[in-house]
Every structure is written in structure tokens, then in C-alpha cells.
């Protein structure tokens, strides 16, 4: 099964703080994704990428930046964190096909005070 | 932006019973449906996918798809306590299959 790791697993920051969430996949998948999961909203796509240097905007991108530095590594940046960004963040990866399964990392729980 | 609606929000079934979960998309361009299962405190894992009209069975799990009504359903027979989880339905458009839209999920509790 595809391996996706995330760090940190838990993070607490203050309003206005800078946060970087990291994701690594070791399966040579082309696509990587960042989602947030909130009660009542399900999983919502923030940003995604189909290769190193590529970035695509998802459905809820406001307040987030992302960068894909290599095939393996995808980062989510919150430059001025707000309490509304308190959430559970998942990274996922998939191969290049239209019908390929997405494999999720273990998640990062972020609390913005 | 398409919406994916799931029902019911929560469901309790006795051990050994049948659980039936529903999912409908609002976008007529949707081609693919997935069902993901998320146990408490864990990440979502793909359970089943269906891309054509009809039915697909894998062990105790059966998924149906009616593309005309953009409706899919997941049925779990002989439900086990280990099936207790959040079930998430996702849909995507052909050619953009990597871009999933998820519903808010059905929380299933199997009562031993």
C-alpha cells in the first residue's frame, strides 16, 4: 500500500503565526493533495499538484499557499494563521490516472489560538 | 462547484444486520464515484470505487451506481463492529478524475 507521511502530527500556534505542514510520499505518485476536514463539511480540497514545481488551486484555497519541491514532497503554508484554520489536515497522493485511488497520510491536527 | 449529498447522516445497525448508505451528486458531468472508510482517529481509506452503471460486489460490500440519477449506494451485509466508521462518498468528473469532491459522510455504528 502507498506510504504517505505527514509532520508534525499536532501543532498549536497563535493568530497571525506562520505554520508549515509537510507531506512526503514514497511511491513515485504524480499527484499530491492537501485537504482539510471539519465536522459538517467533510473533506475539502485546498491545493493539489501533479508534479514538482506545479500547483493547482482547489476548492478552499484562501489563506493557504502550497509548494511542491520534489516528486515526493508537498508543503502547505499558512502565513498568517487564523482561528478559522483550526482543523484536521490530510495530505494524499495518487498516480497519474483518472481512476486512480488516493492514499491518505495520517493527518495533522492544527489548533490556532 | 458540485455538491455530494450523503444520507443518512448517522446509522445504527445490529451486528449481523444490513447497512445501506446513499450518495447523490448535483453535477451531471460526474463520471466516477468512490467510497472511503474512515475509522475514528484514522485517515480515510478507499473501500470501493464504481465507474459504470450497475453493481459491484467485494466480499460483504456491494456498491450500486445509477448514472442517470447520479446516485450510488453502498450496502454492507453481515455488519461487524469493526465496520463502525465514517463512510465518505466522493465523486469526480471524467478527465479530472483526480479531483474528488467529498460528501460529509455517514457515521455507521454497528451495535454488538
pLDDT tens for B52-94 read: 999 999 999 999 999 999 999 999 999 999 999 999 999 998 7
pLDDT at B97: 64
Looking at per-residue pLDDT, the higher value among B31 and B39 belongs to B39
What is the rounded CA–CA span in Å between residue A78 and residue B10? 33
Task: Supply A66's cell numbers.
Answer: 502550497
Q: Does the CB of B39 have a partner CB in chain A at under 8 Å?
A: no
Name which of A43, A48, A99 is nearest B88 (Cβ-Cβ).
A43
Looking at per-residue pLDDT, the higher value among A96 and A102 belongs to A102
pLDDT at A98: 76
From A22, A2, A4, select the one nearest A100 (Cα to Cα): A2
Query: Mean pLDDT, chain B, as a whole number?
Result: 94
Verify cis geometry, omega within 30 degrees of 0, for the bond prior to A8: yes
Q: What is the pLDDT of residues A81-101, one digit of tens each?
A: 999 999 999 999 999 777 889
Is the per-residue pLDDT at A104 higher than 90?
yes
pLDDT at A96: 77
Is the per-residue pLDDT at A39 higher than 70?
yes
Pairing of strands A19-25, A73-78: antiparallel
Looking at per-residue pLDDT, the higher value among B93 and B25 belongs to B25
Average pLDDT estimate for A2-28: 95
pLDDT at B99: 85
Q: Does the CB of B40 have a partner CB in chain A at under 8 Å?
A: no
Counting residues of chain B whose pLDDT is more than 70, the rounded percentage is 98
Which of A102, A106, A108 best probes binding to B when mutated, by most B CB atoms within 10 angstroms? A102
CA quadruple B86, B92, B96, B97: dihedral sign: positive
Taking each continuous run of H as one helix and of E as one strand, the counts in chain A are 0, 11
Q: Which of A3-7, A39-43, B37-41 has the lowest mean pLDDT?
A: A39-43
Per the CB < 8 A criterion, the answer to whether A21 and A11 are in contact is yes
Per the CB < 8 A criterion, the answer to whether B106 and B8 are in contact is yes
Helix, strand, coil percentages (3-state) for chain B, rounded to 5, are: 5, 60, 40
Looking at per-residue pLDDT, the higher value among B10 and A2 belongs to B10
Is the per-residue pLDDT at B19 higher than 70?
yes
Is the per-residue pLDDT at A106 higher than 90?
yes
Residues of B in contact with A50 (CB under 8 A): 98
Q: Which of residues 43-102 of A touch B (CB under 8 A)?
A: 43-45, 48, 50, 58-59, 90, 94, 97-102
Amino acid at each position: 500500500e502507498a506510504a504517505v507521511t505527514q509532520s508534525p502530527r499536532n501543532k498549536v500556534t497563535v493568530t497571525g503565526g506562520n505554520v508549515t505542514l509537510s507531506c512526503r510520499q514514497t511511491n513515485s505518485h504524480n499527484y499530491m493533495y492537501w485537504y482539510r476536514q471539519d465536522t459538517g463539511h467533510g473533506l475539502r480540497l485546498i491545493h493539489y499538484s501533479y508534479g514538482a514545481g506545479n500547483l493547482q488551486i482547489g476548492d478552499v484555497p484562501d489563506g493557504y499557499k502550497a509548494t511542491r519541491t520534489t516528486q515526493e514532497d508537498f508543503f502547505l503554508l499558512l502565513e498568517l494563521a487564523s482561528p478559522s484554520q483550526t482543523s484536521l489536515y490530510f495530505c494524499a497522493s495518487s498516480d497519474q490516472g483518472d481512476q486512480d485511488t488516493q492514499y491518505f497520510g495520517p493527518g495533522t491536527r492544527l489548533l490556532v489560538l | 462547484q458540485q455538491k455530494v449529498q450523503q444520507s443518512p447522516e448517522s446509522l445504527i445497525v445490529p451486528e449481523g444486520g444490513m447497512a445501506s448508505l446513499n450518495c447523490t451528486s448535483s453535477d451531471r458531468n460526474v463520471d466516477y464515484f468512490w467510497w472511503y472508510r474512515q475509522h475514528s482517529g484514522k485517515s480515510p481509506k478507499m473501500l470501493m470505487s464504481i465507474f459504470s452503471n450497475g453493481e459491484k460486489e467485494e466480499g460483504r460490500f456491494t456498491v450500486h451506481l445509477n448514472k442517470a440519477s447520479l446516485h450510488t449506494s453502498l450496502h454492507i451485509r453481515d455488519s461487524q463492529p469493526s465496520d463502525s466508521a465514517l463512510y465518505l462518498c466522493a465523486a469526480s468528473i471524467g478527465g479530472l478524475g483526480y479531483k474528488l469532491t467529498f460528501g460529509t459522510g455517514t457515521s455507521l455504528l454497528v451495535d454488538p
